[in-house]
Amino acid sequence: MKKVVLDTYEDVCKAAADIYIEQLKNKPNSILGLATGSTPIGLYERLVRIYNDGGINFSKARSFNLDEYYPIKKNHPQSYDYFMRGHLLDKINILQSDIPNGEADDAISECKRYDAQINAAGGIDLMLLGIGHNGHVGFNEPSVSYNMGTYLTGLTDSSISANSRFFTEDDVQPTKALTMGLGEIFRSKAILMLICGKGKAPIAKKLFEGKIHTDIPACFLLLHPNATVILDKAAALG
Ligand code: PGA
């Protein structure tokens, strides 16, 4: 696992954007794994700017997102579908994008469909990840099995309470999600994890201890042959 520490969040976003420029230059039809959360917002803003300036071309690329609440309407402002369209997908010329369908009648068939699509596309070339304070990746919470494809999972109480601020009193907050499993993520040819802010310093420290803690899902990165973690100083030093 390669570790890169940069001064600021902006530096992290710039370095990550450079990786995407390079990726699409080398393989224009790349399969990109994308993530939601506050961490990648700066990267997406930068990619949109670069795209508008003609510096990157997504026209042959496809994307698959990491996870989605279940059930949720695509047009709900808290759906990850809505987030991705607003921050990136509607603003670039990406050929095709897929997000687990929070509106699917049958969650289990939706998970199977999603895995089949990823496989048919040849697997993910570059998977973008954030990390939760407890080491979660997507909705893979501590103690999850390491070999799973996409699956329906219950949200932990900590995820429900962390996300409750985004839902109004009139909303029914989802308590489940569809998430790529760690097995699916691990099969990505390259993984890029971004860790930013002082609040993430304790989990970053644990990750870089180099021990596989089965209660920290992100530790599987230590075993991946092509994983890069970019941190800002706040997350690296605390
Ligand atoms: P964040 O979320 O980017 O909003 O910190 C990351 C995560 O919980 O996976």
Residue 171: the pLDDT is 86
Q: Say whether 170 is catalytic.
A: no
Rounded mean pLDDT of the chain?
A: 96
Establish whether 147 is a catalytic residue: no
What are the pLDDT digits (tens) for 133-144? 999 999 999 988
Instruction: Say if CB 17 and CB 46 are below 8 A apart.
Output: yes
For 150, 173, 221, the CA distances from 188, given in Å and listed in that order, are: 14, 31, 11
The predicted-structure confidence for 10-64, as pLDDT tens digits, reads as follows 999 999 999 999 999 999 999 999 999 999 999 999 999 999 999 999 999 999 9
| Residue having the nearest C-alpha atom to atom 7 of ligand 1 | 132
Ligand 1 is surrounded, with C-beta below 6 A, by 37-39, 130-132
Confidence tier at 145 by pLDDT (50, 70, 90): confident
Percentage of residues of the chain with pLDDT beyond 70: 100
The closest-lying atom of ligand 1 relative to the alpha carbon of residue 136 is 9
pLDDT at 214 over 90: no
The span from the CA of 138 to the CA of 151, in Å, is: 11
Distances (CA, A) of 61 to 92, 96, 141, 216: 11, 7, 30, 31
From 81, 110, 115, 141, the catalytic residue: 141
Instruction: Report which residue type is found at 20.
Output: Y
Residue 194: phi, psi to the nearest 5?
A: -110, 130
Residue among 125, 134, 184, 224 flagged as catalytic: 134
Sign for the CA dihedral angle at 96, 100, 104, 110 comes to positive
* 34 torsion bin: left (phi>0), alpha (psi -120 to 50), beta (else): beta
Confidence tier at 163 by pLDDT (50, 70, 90): confident
pLDDT at residue 230 in the model: 98
Return the pLDDT at 159: 82
For the full predicted model, state whether its pTM sits above 0.95. yes
If one residue of 12, 13, 36, 39 were mutated to test the ligand 1 pocket, choosing by the most ligand atoms within 8 A of its CB, it would be 39
Kindly report the number of other CB atoms within 10 A of residue 76's CB atom: 17
- 202, burial (CB in 10 Å: exposed 0-12, middle 13-18, buried 19+): middle
Q: What is the pLDDT of residue 146?
A: 85
pLDDT of 182 reads 96
Give me the helices (H) in 121-224, please: 157-163, 182-186, 201-207
Question: Whole-angstrom Cα distance, residue 151 to residue 156?
Answer: 15
pLDDT score, position 94: 98
What is the predicted pLDDT for the residue at 10?
Answer: 98
pLDDT of res. 56: 98
Q: Is 136 a residue of the active site?
A: yes
Average pLDDT over every residue of 231-236: 98
Instruction: For domain 24-191, give the CATH number.
Output: 3.40.50.1360
